[in-house]
Amino acid sequence: EEHDAMMMTPLSAMAEAFEELDKVLRSREDDRQLRLDTFCEACSLVSVLFGCLGFAFKFAEVDYVSKVRDLKEASSTSDTLQDILDLDVANDTVKIQGSLSRNLRRVRQGLDLIRVLFEQFLTTEDCYLKEAASRAYRQVCAPYHSWTVRTAVVAGMCALPTRNQLLLKLNETEQSAGKKMRRYIDASLPVIEYIDKLYLSRNISLDW
Ligand code: 1PZ
């Protein structure tokens, strides 16, 4: 336990960052606003996972990182996630490709994908990640992706590292990774639900 706490790995950093966001959401009602810069920093930490996935997912990394970067840049003028939505609602640009509200929706998908992926990781002992990753992808992202993207992802799944290779790259053991994935799963869900509520409370459906 103590050893785990001392060793800061990419997974620890992710778990910690999302626990901080979750803490903000649990605070008094008036304070329940996520700052865009803090949110983006947490989202950036997720990028290290891409480095573990191999070249097949380079295109996903480029897409995700650029969306987080655009959001981060907007934090100089928009303080909170709410501000992003309000601006796009006012300009009628919520679903326009490249808009910040659309980027936020996609980044949210990425966070959810990782959450479900971790859940899959914890419920299987498979030494290959293909099935777990495919299930997570089918559940979270596939319904919203074009045929081209889905095909590239399916192809990439075959090139994923094995379970042990992933643990090694993340500098974790089964036990330490399990605990940190659980922490991310628990902390990210309220954040994901909070983001969904931002859209729903403005009468924006989530079917895109
Ligand atoms: C070990 C487990 C490996 C799991 C691998 C799962 C990989 C999923 C790859 C998703 C590919 C997304 C490629 C880009 C899709 C874009 O078309 C869309 C729409 O963009 P827009 O039209 O709005 O500009 N972008 C997205 O949906 C953002 C998706 C981000 C995916 C982040 C995945 C994080 C995975 C981390 C891996 C552990």
Q: What ligand 1 atom has the least distance to the C-alpha of 111?
A: 34
Look at 6-10, 43-47, 178-182, 191-195 and tell me which has the smallest mean pLDDT: 6-10
Which ligand 1 atom lies nearest to the CA of residue 117? 2
Domain ranges for the chain, please list them. Answer: 2-200
Q: Per-residue pLDDT tens for 123-136?
A: 999 999 999 999 99
- Smallest CA-to-CA distance from 133 within 56, 21, 43, 44 is with 56
- Distance from the alpha carbon of residue 29 to the mean position of ligand 1, in angstroms: 33
Nearest Cα residue to atom 10 of ligand 1: 60
Residue 110 Cα to ligand 1 middle (Å): 6
Instruction: Kindly state the average pLDDT of the residues 195-208.
Output: 97
Lowest-confidence range among 19-23, 27-31, 54-58, 106-110?
A: 27-31
Average pLDDT for residues 57-78, to the nearest whole number?
96
Q: Of 78, 63, 79, 41, nearest to 153 (Cα)?
A: 63
The reported pLDDT for the residue numbered 7 is 72
Q: Is-contact 207 95, C-beta < 8 A? A: no
Residue of 160, 150, 171 whose CA lies nearest to 120: 160
Q: Give dist(CA 16, CA 179) in Å, integer.
A: 12
> Whose Cα sits closest to atom 34 in ligand 1?
110
Judged against a pLDDT cut of 50, whether residue 2 lies above it is answered with no
Spatial distance between the Cα atoms of 67 and 200, rounded to a whole number of angstroms: 21
Cα–Cα distance measured from residue 136 to residue 142, given in angstroms and rounded to the nearest whole number: 9
Return the pLDDT at 31.
66
Residue 1 binned pLDDT confidence (cut-offs 50, 70, 90)? very low
To test the pocket of ligand 1, the residue of 52, 55, 63, 129 to mutate (highest count of ligand atoms within 8 Å of its CB) is: 63
Question: What's the token pair of residue 187?
Answer: 């902390």
CA of 144 to the centre of ligand 1 (A): 10
d(CA 172, CA 179): 10
Res 6: pLDDT: 61
Rounded distance from Cα 58 to ligand 1 centre (Å): 10
Q: What are 142-199's pLDDT values in tens digits?
A: 999 999 999 999 999 999 999 999 999 999 999 999 999 999 999 999 999 999 999 9
Q: What CA–CA distances, in Å, run from 168 to 10, 11, 63, 131, 161?
A: 12, 12, 26, 20, 10
**Mean pLDDT of all residues in 94-116:** 98
What is the ipTM score, two decimals?
0.93
Distance CA 129, CA 112 (A): 17
CATH number of 2-200: 1.10.3520.10
